[in-house]
Amino acid sequence: QKSITGRVLGPDRKPVQGASVSVKGATTGTQTDADGNFRINAASDATLVISFVGFASQEIAVNNSQSVGTISLSQLATSLNEIVVTGYSSQKKKDLTGSVAIVNMEAAKKQPVADLNNMLQGQVSGLTVVGTGQPGQTPQVRIRGFNTFGNNAPLFVVDGVPTQNINDINPNDIASTQVLKDAGASSIYGSRASNGVIIVTTRKGTGKVKVSYDGYVGTQKPKGGNVWDILSPQEMGNLKWLAYKNSGKAPTDAQFGSGTTPVIPDYILPNGAKAGDPGTDPSTYYLDPNYNGSMDGFHQIVQANKTGTDWYHQIFRNAPITQHNLAVTGGNDQAAYLFSVNYFNQQGTLINTYLRRFTIRANSTYKITNFLRVGENMGYSVISNPQAASGILVEGSAIGMAFRENPMIPVYDIKGNYAGSAGKDLGNAKNPVAIQQRTANNKGLANRLFGNIFGEVDILKNLTARTSFGGEVYSGSNHSFAFPEYENSENLTTNSYTETAYSGYNWTWTNTLAYHLTAGDHDLKLLGGTEAYLATNRNLGGTTLGYLNFDPNYTSLSTGLGTQTNYSNQNNGINSTTAFGADNTLVSYFGRLDYTFKDKYLLGATVRRDGSSKFTTNRWGTFPAVSIGWRISQENFMKNVGWITDLKIRGSYGTMGNQFNALGTNSYTLYGTNKQTTYYPYGGSAIVQGVSLQQFGNPNGKWEKDKNLNVGFDGTFFKGALEVTADYYHKDIKDLLYQLTFPGTYGAGTVPAFNVASMKNSGVDVAVTGHINIAKDLKLDATGTFTTFSNTITQIDASGTPYFDQDSRRFNGSNIVRNAVGHSISQFYGYKVTGFWQSQAEIDAANAEAQKATGNPNAVYQTDAAVGRFRYADSKNQHQITNDSKVFLGNPSPDFSYGLNLGLTYKDFDFSMFLYGVQGNDIWNNVKWWTDFYGSFPGGANSKTALYNSWTPTNTHAKAPIQEAGSYFSTQSVPNSYFVENGSYLRCKNMQLGYSFNFASLKKAGISRLRAYVQAANLFTITKYSGIDPEISTNSGNVNATTDFGIDEGAYANPRQYLFGIQVVF
Amino acid sequence: GAVLFNACNKSFLDQSAKGALSPDLLPTKTVLQALLAGAYAALDGQGAGNNAIAGGAPWEASPSNWIYGSVAGGDSHKGSSLGDQPPIVPIATAQEDPSNGFFNTKWKALYEGIARCNAVLKTVPQTPNLTATDRVNIANEARFLRGHYYFELKKFFNMVPWIDETTTDFNQPNDKDIWPMIEKDFKAAADSLGDKAPTAGQANKWAAKCYLAKTYVYEKKWTEAEALFEEIGAGGMTSTGLAYGLTDRFEDQFDAATKNNKETVFDIQMTANDGTNSIANANGGDMLNFPYNSPFRCCGFYQPSIDLSNSYRTDASGLPYLDDYNSHPVKNDMGVISEGDQGGAPFTPDADPLDPRIDWTIGRRGIPLHDWGNHPGSHWIRDQASAGPFANKKNLYWQATAGTYSDQSTWAPGSAINIHIIRYADVLLLWAETQAQLGNLSGALEHVNDVRKRAALPVNFLKTYADPANPMGGFSGTNAANYVIAPYASFPSQDYALKAIRFERKLELACEGQRFFDLVRWGIAETTMNAYYAYEGQITGDLPGGHFTAGKNEYFPIPQIQIDLVGKAKLKQNPNYPQ
């Protein structure tokens, strides 16, 4: 063994940085530095393999020399020899038999987002990502549709450590990301592979010390205009007058009076007062915003905002975003290191929401002897990330209040305290500005150390043992203060302070033994291993009421007057206050075989056996997979087809498992106490401890099994100018764990997960990449991705009903979403609106039909049918609208999604654009329940649709039904198709123009690269959806996120972002 | 590695639950007592985090039955604005549908209570080292509670599945009349519990006897009922040993400061500010039922009906107009805007003879609302045109003691006022009814008059404020209205006696969740409710399409979701509901 040097240049004779250099037949390797130089230890008769993404790999014999000199990589821009990290192993791309999508991290990193999840949207086929504009909110990520009824987030394997939380991994530290989509690729992760696996490898250094800086600053702009088409104050009055007229009642209103037309008052508190009214004399004003107890004696004076308050833009404003990343890398064939620090600060466009994140990473590897390597990868993060109070897309949030708060209410009263709905007839919404501003001093901090240490020893020439111990240690705390309210019609009058803390850790210990044999036409790799996993955490918290003073420096759990509550628990997930839980453990054994014959017949086989603490009698699951590949282009009969550079046909079949949806305590029947539900005040005062059943146990729970078939091909054409990967897959998922609803006679204990359901998914993933030299110096790179999935629930073994319903919102027991056999997950369900009842004669005729059909002389066709209200479809031909008349109204899952990455380079300029779209999905626009119906909480804000495009005798083909004082079955008290809208959209996610400075003086100053760019994100969106943003995820607090999504009740819209950035390498 | 894991696989994969008791830890005296407390704790139907005990909104499971007994029975309106809590509208108008989620919430809450009783009864025989007294008392208090939960189910839904401590298959049919099982539970408790109980909130033998008597009355077993009432009348006492009787002050029944008195037969105990920072033990089920736009904050529900207010009209001799009370309406401020609001006008309250209980039951404009000031009228009413001009008064706490007896820790108030399952006035009226049914009109007269005489005590005549500007400063010596009330001189016939007794129940137990169930067992629900819809529906806007259908609306529909879960074949819908 001796040290060999060399230099790698590209076809343009410029140095290639980061090219892989390895010794053929061994596992050792290094990478080239910024000048293209490398140094590697190899035997004098060894052959070096040089490979780099997009270039043909080359083999160079050492031939007893010290240096192999300069190696030029050829034009052939294929990635066939790219090394791809797969399950516990790595392979060349050409040898892959499973479906593996390789993320173009350079393109992905152009998204100005903090989280890898968000970056992946549209970048790889087979992956669906739905996010929001809220900083720090983890988006929904689904690999090939739905795999479970619960947690559908993929398993990330970061440097060999499995985790589902990557929101604190600095994307700049990521070297490569691979998405394992089929069983062939991911079954080796058996137990947790079902949702798909994303392999993330963080960067290592090479070559001499290099310092690089990347940074950007920018601004984010919320959507402008009257985003919900809210009426002006005068129009609000006109709507009430219209609604009362329609209801046959004379309108009276404490603010607008009782005249023939509504008159905007000068003041809304005192109710409807005119200027000069003694009650509006500022000297009579009395209000203590920091009161402790009762509001006795308060006299608030609020002027009417006659032009109307734009509540949306009172809580959303332009916000800055900035990121700084500094990395130091270096290495030689004995040691390599990366050290990086990153600061990310995204202020939300919603006031007092932001993500501030500081991360630091240190990766290093050491070659101690020729046969022993050790190393570590460690990332530490500190995150502060307050999100919208009360969540998003759900009633009660500040956003949800912004389309409900009456526009006549100003933000502040005459003395600068908050104004609100406290006056009469102003609805019952809360001041959204107050909601968000009151959270200003609520703070939270999360810390996490994530990483691993590993050792690798070459026992024999071809036999390598590896051990890796990794995981995370984390902790965090939050404190918040709830201020008493005074400005609303329904105030919270207490003040309280709440503090929570959590800490926990999990670890994964992996041991593998790998054997690699190359003999003639045969190439055989064998791998066996074991893995153990343990996760635990603790929560601690409390709340105290009654503070003398609300100064954030004073309030603590100890300084309140009220009873101090406290709680603690173990392993329930972060911030859970549920009393009980159990640690989760896994034990696994796995093996893997990769065999190549003549470099064209490929076989892969994996098997894994997992035991989980979540199960008792069926603890162990076995997850095998087999995959084959045929590089048909290597066959003689294909070798003459000049335009085919490489063509491989692949197929795989296997089983993946899942256990995310069972809690650690799933097997156990548990009794417990809860002061609110099981304690009893026997004497009518102090509560006495009580116990009741808290959870039923299911000792027979077992692994979900996902049987997965994949066929596809990888093609490289025209010497790499065109690459196409396409896959068809079919997944049969059995024994889905789901928390059934027990009949009420069981009592109220939590129902555990049972293996009760099945579903199937099928779809096509296509990725096409092209490289075109349009003219001299003008190069176009384009990548398109196309993803479809079709999901069908095939079985729900709930006794009696082949469906389960979720999410009733204000529909009082009728749910919006039905998950039913034969249908896709989370479909909208309700009555189909066919039009309006146009006359009493039409209603009479329908009633007569119902009476004839039912033989009941009192039968009515449709509950509270009336002229101008919705007529529902008699979908079952019953001549009557019953519970059975409901139909599926829409599907929030798209038919397909697509992404298009375009990159243009001209000399030192580069331009890129990324378009992303989804097609064929529906959105349940529940905002309209509030804005388009006067009768939904009168006094709250309403839309122009309600006033100008609702049914009247002269506008019989309106959009909205007749406006009335009440809420009816035939208008908005049951789910109906009025709320369903087309959610398709095409969005320009990103557009970037960059310039690389190529001056000799820079080189002299030691700057090897200097690039500046301007960027616009979310520049435009083409959609028919009437809401603010068609990208509708789920409320972050929704425990049923998989089976209940696509409902908009106040979205945190993705803002338009404008950035300026700079990249420097020293 | 593999060897290492093999060795410890077993223990490594066996992770026990933290923070909970496994079933084998239940059979000890302290845990058993806690299980019993848990069975009591289900009485209020309230769970954690401002939810009903088995899911749903707090009010849907309210044990006061304000929706199902009072609103459905016409002594109150839903209240608030028409579009707020719309599922109550069909319940108020006898147009309810099985898919109405309110019934499901109530059903689940009651069966959770039963599950907790069964847990006690299952654990008692397994528990060592219990004294014989403990063993008997714990088991029989659980049986008493189970009787209560089933009594509720029976009067709501009629045919319901029976689940007891021996049941292993919880998918039981509803093919049996469960009155005999309810009787058995109450009888066991009546036979074995002591005269007194360890605390005021626990059932004693007399509570069980009263509940058994009430069961007999519901079953029209008049002779069995009469025998029990005689016993109760002779020796009945509260759990703390007070001989049963009526408190002089009617208002003491509706004030947390005077709860658990001699009139208390069985109450659901409530407490405020219990350290949970919630109103889960503080009448969460009635959190909506406070005047709107007022210091109570929320939400303007549960407004007494105009029909009810008219029932308190008395003639010159101090007796009610049993048949034509609506022809002698009590003046109210419908359509008159409060002074101080735009368009406001003055209002003078009714000056003609009234039963004094009206002003402890109904908050009406111009009359003191405890120590909160004279009710201002429309200003504190969310939508007068929808639900009338009144406020409920029996569940209002006092301003002077609000710090102790109200709980403001959530978005609507809680209170420490107990909910009466049975109070002695109820017992006396059931007794009177039993005697009238058995032809003992003098006995019936005596017991009705016991109730009327208490109402007629001068202490029950509400007074005006000494200074209306300072309502907490106390009351004057002047009556707030023209109170005229007297006992019945005689009952000329059994029919008259029954009519008078029924009317007395309406007056005495108004807004206590009883009315609907009384009307049904009397067999007069159809005529009474349809008359109510005809009268009241002309005045308020919240009773559209109100119509009671005999043979259907006597019982609420079995919740559709429960039928879906168990199957139509086992769980049968009540007659004339969509099957």
B192-209 confidence digits (pLDDT tens): 999 999 999 999 999 999
DSSP string, A981-1045: EE--EEEEEEEEEEEE---HHHHHTT--EEEEEEEEES--EEE---SS-S-----TT-TTTTTS-
Residue in B54, B198, B337 nearest the CB of A748: B54
Closest residue in A to B344 (Cα) is A254
Q: How far apart are CA A938 and CA B83, in angstroms?
A: 8
Specify the pLDDT at position A79: 63
For residue A975, the model assigns a pLDDT of 95
Q: What percent of chain B has pLDDT over 70?
A: 98
Q: Note which residues in 248-287 of chain B have CB less than 8 A from chain A.
A: 256, 259-260, 267, 269-271, 273-278, 280-281
| Confidence bin at A77 (pLDDT 50/70/90) | very low
Q: Cα–Cα distance between B539 and B533 in angstroms, integer?
A: 10
Q: What integer pLDDT is reported at residue A75 of this predicted model?
A: 54
Q: What is the fold, at CATH topology level, of the domain defined by A2-76?
A: Immunoglobulin-like (2.60.40)
Say yes or no to pLDDT of B6 above 70.
no
CB contact under 8 A, B256 and A967: no
Q: Is A532 on the interface with B (CB under 8 A)?
A: yes
Contact A688 B299 (CB under 8 A): no
Residue type, B216: Y
Chain A partners of B95 at a C-beta cutoff of 8 Å? 863
Min mean pLDDT across A57-71, A780-794, A869-883, B532-546 is at A57-71
CA distance A617 to B14: 11
* Buried/exposed A823-849: b ≥16 CB within 10 Å, e otherwise: bbbbbbbbbbbeebbeeeebbeebbee
Q: Which of A489, A689, A744 sits opposite B562 (nearest CB)?
A: A744
Note whether A540 contacts B: Cβ–Cβ < 8 A: no
B337 interface with A at CB cutoff 8 Å = yes
- Per-residue pLDDT at A658 exceeds 60: yes
* pLDDT confidence tier of residue A152, bands split at 50, 70 and 90: confident
**Which pLDDT tens digit goes with each residue over B108-147?**
999 999 999 999 999 999 999 999 999 999 999 999 999 9
Contact A673 B34 (CB under 8 A): yes
Hey, where are the domains in chain A?
A: 2-76, 832-885
Q: Beta strand A584-597 with A567-570: parallel, antiparallel or unpaired?
A: unpaired
Q: Are A917 and A986 in contact (CB under 8 A)?
A: yes
Two tokens at B6?
A: 């093999």
Gap from A698 CA to chain B (nearest CA, Å): 13
From its phi and psi, is residue A133 left (phi > 0), alpha (psi between -120 and 50) or beta?
Answer: alpha
The reply to whether residue B409 touches residue A490, judged by beta carbons under 8 angstroms, is no
CA A510, CA A856: separation in Å to the nearest integer?
Answer: 72
Which residue of chain B is at minimal alpha-carbon distance from A973? B86
Q: What is the CA radius of gyration of chain B?
A: 24
Residues B538 and B396: their CA atoms lie apart, in Å, by: 28
Phi-psi sector, A293: left (phi>0), alpha (psi -120 to 50), beta: left
| 8 A C-beta contact, residue A384 and residue A445 | yes
Name the B residues in 415-454 with CB < 8 Å from any A CB: 416, 418
Half-sphere exposure in the Cβ direction for A647 (13 Å, CA): 14
Interface probe for B, chosen from A677, A816, A929 (most Cβ of B below 10 Å), is A677
Interface of A with B in 699-758 (CB under 8 A): 741-749
Q: Above 50 in pLDDT, residue B4? A: no
Q: Which of A150, A170, A166 is nearest to A158 (CA)?
A: A166
Encode pLDDT of A346-393 as tens digits.
Answer: 999 999 999 999 999 999 999 999 899 999 999 999 999 999 988 888
CB atoms inside a 10 Å sphere around CB A729:
23
**Contact call for B17 and A581, based on CB within 8 A:** yes
Chain A and chain B share a number of CB contacts under 8 A equal to 354
The verdict on B569 touching A (C-beta cutoff 8 Å) is: no
Put simply, the answer to whether B83 touches A583 (Cβ < 8 Å) is no
Name the residue among A631, A763, A741 with its Cα closest to residue A696: A741
Q: Region B6-24: what's the mean pLDDT?
A: 81
Is residue A186 over pLDDT 90?
no
User: Is B474 touching A (CB cutoff 8 A)?
Assistant: no
Q: What is the C-alpha separation between A126 and A138, in angstroms, rounded?
A: 19
Which residue type sits at B368? P
Residues of A (1001-1060) whose Cβ lies below 8 Å from B:
none
Per-residue pLDDT of A552-601, as tens digits, reads 999 988 888 877 777 777 766 777 777 788 888 899 999 999 999 998 99
- Which of A4-8, A392-396, B410-414 has maximum average pLDDT? B410-414
Among A residues 608-627, those touching chain B with beta carbons less than 8 Å apart: 611-613, 619
Is the CB of residue A864 less than 8 Å away from at least one CB of chain B? yes
Q: Which of B310, B312, B273, B463 is nearest to A560 (CA)?
A: B273
Instruction: Give the span between the Cα atoms of B279 and B268, in whole angstroms.
Output: 14
Query: Which among A585, A670, A882 is the nearest to B20, CB-wise?
Result: A670
The span from the first CA to the last CA of chain B, in angstroms, equals 62
Asked whether A766 and A897 are in contact (CB, 8 A), the reply is: no
Cα gap A708→A731, rounded to integer Å:
4
Residue to substitute from A685, A809, A864, interface B, most B β-carbons within 10 A: A685
Under 8 Å CB-to-CB from B150, ≥6 apart: which residues?
Answer: B110, B114, B160, B162, B178, B181, B182, B185
Give the mean model confidence (pLDDT) for residues A1012-1037: 92
Q: How many CB atoms lie within 10 A of CB A857?
A: 7
A994 interfaces chain B, CB cutoff of 8 Å: no
Contact check, Cβ <8 Å, A966/B12: no
Confidence of residue B1 (pLDDT cuts 50, 70, 90): very low
DSSP A688: B
Residue with tokens 């293209």: A36
pLDDT tens digits for B435-446? 999 999 999 999
Residues of B in contact with A664 (CB under 8 A): 15, 17
Q: Do A882 and B578 touch (CB under 8 A)?
A: yes
Q: Is B102 close to A583, i.e. CB distance below 8 A?
A: no
The whole-number pLDDT of residue A899 equals 95
Tell me which chain B residue has its CA closest to the CA of residue A546. B409
pLDDT at B8: 53
* Residue of chain A with shortest Cα separation from B106: A744
Enumerate residues 74 to 133 of chain B having a beta carbon within 8 A of any beta carbon in chain A: 81-87, 89, 95, 97-102, 104, 107-109, 111-112, 114-116, 119
- Average pLDDT over chain A reads 91
The pLDDT of A683-691, averaged and rounded, is: 93
For chain B positions 195-224, those within 8 Å of chain A (CB to CB) are: 198-202
Smallest CA–CA distance from B37 into chain A, residue: A690
| pLDDT, mean of residues B242-269 | 98
In chain B, residues with a C-beta closer than 8 Å to the C-beta of A587 are 5, 9, 12-13
Percent of chain A at pLDDT exceeding 70: 98
User: How far is A46 from A36, CA to CA, in rounded Å?
Assistant: 21
pLDDT band at A728 (very low <50, low <70, confident <90, very high): very high
pLDDT band of residue B2 (cuts 50, 70, 90) is: very low
- Provide the total of helices (H) and of strands (E) in chain A, helices listed first: 12, 54
> A697 pLDDT band (50/70/90 cuts)?
very high
Can you give the pLDDT at residue B136? 96
Q: Can you give the pLDDT at residue B7?
A: 45
CA atoms of B13 and B20, how far apart (whole Å):
19
B165 touches chain A (CB under 8 A): no
Using CA atoms, how far apart are residues B560 and B552, in angstroms rounded to an integer?
A: 16
Phi, psi (degrees; rounded to nearest 5) at A746: -75, -25
Report CB contact under 8 Å: A682, B198: yes
- Cβ B170–A742 below 8 Å, yes or no? yes
Contact at CB, A563 and B275, closer than 8 angstroms: yes
Tokens, residue A609: 């056996």
Name the residue among A271, A496, A581 with its Cβ closest to that of B341.
Answer: A271
Provide ipTM, 2 decimals.
0.96
Q: Is residue B472 less than 8 Å (CB to CB) from chain A?
A: no
Task: Please write the tens of the pLDDT for every residue from B277-302.
Answer: 899 999 999 999 999 989 998 899 99
**Each residue's pLDDT tens digit, A221-268:** 999 999 999 999 999 999 999 999 998 888 888 899 888 999 999 999
Per-residue three-class SS string for A733-780:
EEEEEEECCCCHHHCCCECCEEEEEEEEEEEEEEEEEEEEEEECCEEE
What are the residues whose beta carbons fall under 8 Å from the beta carbon of A506, sequence distance 6 or more?
A: A471, A472, A533, A534, A535, A536
Alpha carbon distances (Å) from B86 to A355, A971, B70, B292, B298? 40, 12, 16, 18, 17
Q: Is A747 close to B114, i.e. CB distance below 8 A?
A: yes
| Average pLDDT, integer, range B336-357 | 91
What pLDDT sits at residue B3?
43
A561 touches chain B (CB under 8 A): no
| Cis peptide upstream of residue A270 (ω within 30 degrees of 0) | yes
For B565, the closest of A271, A743, A814 (CB atoms) is: A743
SS3 call for A825: coil
Ordered structural domains, chain B, with CATH: 284-536 (1.25.40.390)
Is the pLDDT at A192 greater than 90? The verdict is: no
Helix ranges (H only) for A788-942 are 840-854, 927-931
Look at residue B380 and tell me whether its pLDDT is greater than 80: yes
Please give the residue of chain A at the shortest CA–CA distance from B411: A492
Q: Do A272 and B341 touch (CB under 8 A)?
A: yes
Other CB atoms closer than 10 Å to residue B477's CB: what's the count? 7
What's the pLDDT at B578? 80
* Beta carbons of A814 and B386 less than 8 Å apart: no
Q: Cα separations (Å) of A35 from A81, A332, A335, A999?
A: 22, 14, 18, 17
